[in-house]
Amino acid sequence: MRASDLIGRRVQLPDGQSGKVADLEVEGTEVVALIVVRGVWGRLLGYERDTVRGPWILETTARAVLRRNSRRVAWSDARFEP
């Protein structure tokens, strides 16, 4: 399976909500988590993750715009919609 097969797919979250896969979190060759967003998203550039730091203005914008609707979902908790 390729990353392009997963990015953009709809997933059902454990709390019953749904969203689209915006990014993957990978350790080695294994997908361990998905970054799921509700609605549309722009180019994420890594700023959707809390651990990524950058210039103050980019970090502030990312917090306000990109992270508000994104969440990390463990691979084992995600259920792909048909």
pLDDT averaged per 10 residues, the chain (length 82): 89 88 90 84 57 70 67 91 84
82, 38 in Cβ contact below 8 A? no
The predicted structure's pLDDT at residue 46: 61
The count of other CB atoms within 10 Å of the CB of residue 36 is: 23
State how far the Cα of 17 lies from the Cα of 13, in Å rounded to an integer.
Answer: 5
Whole-model pTM? 0.68
The predicted structure's pLDDT at residue 13: 85
What are the two backbone dihedrals, phi and then psi, of residue 66, each rounded to the nearest 5 degrees?
-80, -40
59, 22 in Cβ contact below 8 A? no
The predicted structure's pLDDT at residue 67: 58
Sign of CA dihedral 22, 27, 31, 33: negative
